Amino acid sequence: MHDLSRRNLLSMAALAPVAGSLRVSARSHAAVVETLAMDRKRIQKKNFPNVPLITHEGKQVNFYEDLIKGKVVTINFFYAKCDEICPLVSANLAKVQKLLGDQVGQKIFMYSISLKPTEDNVSVIKAYRDQWHAGPGWTFFTGQPGDIEMIRKGIGFSYPDPAIDKDKTQHIGNVRYGNEPLMLWAACPGVAHAPWIAESFTWMMHPELNRVQKS
């Protein structure tokens, strides 16, 4: 039989509240994890529909499951025959990709989605991509008009006025970027100073954030 001396009893008494707090902490942590998982699911359903898209290489992918989930990403819209904001944003993002270097395609993924998929087939978006010398990790997409509209509205790139919203020549030239696992999202003008955009993107893949993401 163990010797339940006064010292042993005092030690056990001291440990009891600690053990109790650890159990409460474990329950609290589980509750937080469950809440975050629910929030993440809610954001996905509202903002990132899992609709199919076609890459510039002709591959079919699902928007949320294949492109967004678990990643740090950037999203912008374009159409090939645009002669206003699209080429300005695309040229600027080409500078951003060059500044980010090998991080694109490894730590961050850049996505450009056509607003006129009935005109922009795979060969058209591939030619448009080549025009800007896009490297690995910067993918261009086409798809069904209704699916792309769901994505556009889901990420908040729409106007309150239906007439303006319908006019593709007035589409928003912003870039949405974020860290999906951490549910951190922001946006910036696509024609902003390229080093500033690159710095903003880099913040989303900061080592401190990555450590939290993996915990």
CATH number at residue 105: 3.40.30.10
| DSSP per position, 67-90 | IITTSEEEEEEE-TT--SHHHHHH
- Quick check: pTM over 0.85? no
pLDDT digits (tens, 9 = 90+) for 75-93: 999 999 998 899 999 999 9
The enclosing H or E element of 173 equals none
Instruction: Decide if 91 is inside a domain.
Output: yes
Question: Helices 85-100 and 194-204 meet at what angle, rounded to 10?
Answer: 60
**Reduced to 3 states, what is the DSSP secondary structure of residue 144?**
coil
Residue 180 has pLDDT above 70, yes or no: yes
Binning pLDDT at 50, 70 and 90, where does residue 23 land?
low
Amino acid identity, position 96: V
- Note whether residue 20 is domain-resident: no
Inside any domain, residue 12: no
Q: How far is CA 185 from the centre of its chain?
A: 7
β partners of residue 201: none
pLDDT band at 114 (very low <50, low <70, confident <90, very high): very high
Residue 107 domain-assigned (yes or no): yes
pLDDT at position 160, please?
A: 85
Average pLDDT over residues 3-26: 45
The residues that bridge with 111 in the sheet, in sequence order, are: 75, 139
In a domain, 119, yes or no: yes
Give the Cα separation of 155 and 46 in Å (integer).
9
Q: What would the mean pLDDT of 127-145 be, rounded to a whole number?
A: 97
User: Considering its fold, how many domains does the chain have in total?
Assistant: 1
In a domain, 156, yes or no: yes
Residue 8, domain member (yes or no): no
Assigned domain for 164 exists: yes
- Domain with 70 in it: 50-214
| CB-based contacts of 65, cutoff 8 Å, min separation 6 | 50
